[in-house]
Amino acid sequence: MLLINGYTRFGRMVEGLGDEEIPWWIAPYVRDFAALAKSSALLDDQHSEPAVESALVSLTRRLAQTAAVAHVAANVRGNEDLIAGIGATMAADIDEYCGTPPRPRHLNQAGLAVSLLAASLAANDPAKLALVAQAERLQKLRGQISATA
């Protein structure tokens, strides 16, 4: 049995397409990229992911996905409406998270999430403009809430 496990390396890594090694359970898919793309093998293996994600994690994920659309919009001509929609979508997601009227704690969390996403992008990144605009809007809302309190 030891010889078989040593030879097949069952339970460990196997040779992939080149000199890289991959988990044994994904090896049957390596030669067929379309089958791998259609499968849910990687998703099924994620046992550590919580069943329900927190609202802040969900907001951050949606903001990152919307920011990715800004990359597409910047590279396609005639998409001024799409670019405007990116900012509106981000604002709607943030407003949904913060509530009406905005709760100060949620406003601060959303501002931090937006700022960190924006800070991780290059200065000429098209998504950075939309994120910075949302950060400025949140800063203004935060000032209004503190002025009324």
Q: What is the value of pTM for the model shown? A: 0.65
Residue pLDDT, tens place only, 99-129: 888 888 899 999 999 999 999 988 888 889 8
Tell me how far the alpha carbon of residue 81 is from its chain's centroid: 23
Q: Which residue has the tokens 């950060």?
A: 135
Phi–psi pair at 3, nearest 5 degrees: -65, -40
Q: What is the DSSP code (8-state) at residue 102?
A: T
For residue 51, the SS3 value is coil
Q: Are 74 and 125 spatial neighbours (Cβ–Cβ below 8 Å)?
A: no
